[in-house]
């Protein structure tokens, strides 16, 4: 189902593995399809273009209100134990349009690539988190 209104980050609500982690002030994502050209000897033009794989990346910026850091929210492994970090399971993130209460993106197999934070002059603490992921599903896609 297509959205009839524009989607803005301030209306986005993030859920991670079914847990509400708060509102996003900005979300961006990309899904890239790697293509391979099939060339044939004796043919000047490419014979066909075939998909070779897909990659997904996204980032979320949110005001830190609930429970604290990305680690405290369960988005990434905490502690310095190598085994814990290597065996931390991928997560699923669902992004809802707060105004319509509709799930607009479901991102599976998410692993944090980078996290950062900032505090502005008004004392607002915000977090920025970048993910690599396996699959991005939209609307009613399974």
The pLDDT tens digits of the residues spanning 62-82 come to 766 555 677 877 788 887 789
Is residue 43 pLDDT above 90, yes or no? yes
- Which residues are paired to 107 by β-bridges? 93, 136
Would you state the structure tokens that stand for residue 65, as one six-digit string?
Answer: 């209100």
Q: Go through the domains of the chain in sequence order and give each one's CATH number.
A: 9-138 (2.30.110)
What is the pLDDT averaged over residues 104-108? 86
* Residues 35/60/73/114 CA torsion (nearest 10 deg): 60
Q: What is the pTM of this model?
A: 0.74
- Of all residues in the chain, the percent with pLDDT exceeding 90 is 28
Give me the helices (H) in the chain, please.
82-86
């Amino acid at each position: 189902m297509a959205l009839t209104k524009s989607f803005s980050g301030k209306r986005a609500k993030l859920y991670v593995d079914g847990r509400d982690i708060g509102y996003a002030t900005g979300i961006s994502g990309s899904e890239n399809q790697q293509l391979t050209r099939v060339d044939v000897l004796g043919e000047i033009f490419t014979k066909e273009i075939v998909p070779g794989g897909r990659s997904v990346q996204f980032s979320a910026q949110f005001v830190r209100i609930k429970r604290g850091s990305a680690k405290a929210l369960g988005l990434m492994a905490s502690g310095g134990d190598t085994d814990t970090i290597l065996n931390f399971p991928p997560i699923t993130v669902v992004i809802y349009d707060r105004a319509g209460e509709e799930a607009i993106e479901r991102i599976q197999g998410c692993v944090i690539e980078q996290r950062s934070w900032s505090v502005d002059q008004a004392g607002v603490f915000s977090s920025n988190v970048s993910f690599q992921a396996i699959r991005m599903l939209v609307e009613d896609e399974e």
